[in-house]
């Protein structure tokens, strides 16, 4: 289920608080060029490793330049 995200005039996510989303939405909004697609694929690989090594049930916070 893709969820629309809202950005302000500076390209920052709104509202300025934790926003629950899913991988499909992250892909839609953030894997927008070849460099970011490669970063996103590495992130998906990391998630798979984390699920396999620790637990398939967890929440993760994403922050920084990748989310704007």
* pLDDT tens digit sequence for 7-45: 899 888 888 888 888 999 999 988 999 999 999 999 999
Distance CA 43, CA 39 (A): 6
pLDDT at 23: 92
Are the CB atoms for 13 and 5 separated by under 8 Å?
Answer: yes
DSSP letter, residue 47: H
Distance CA 50, CA 34 (A): 24
pTM value?
Answer: 0.79
Q: Where are the domains of the chain?
A: 6-67
């Amino acid at each position: 289920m893709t969820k629309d995200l809202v950005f302000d005039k500076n390209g920052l996510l709104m509202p300025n608080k934790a926003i629950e989303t899913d991988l499909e939405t992250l892909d839609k909004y953030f894997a927008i060029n070849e460099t970011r697609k490669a970063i996103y694929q590495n992130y998906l690989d990391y998630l798979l490793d984390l699920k396999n090594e620790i637990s398939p049930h967890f929440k993760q916070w994403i922050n920084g330049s990748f989310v704007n």
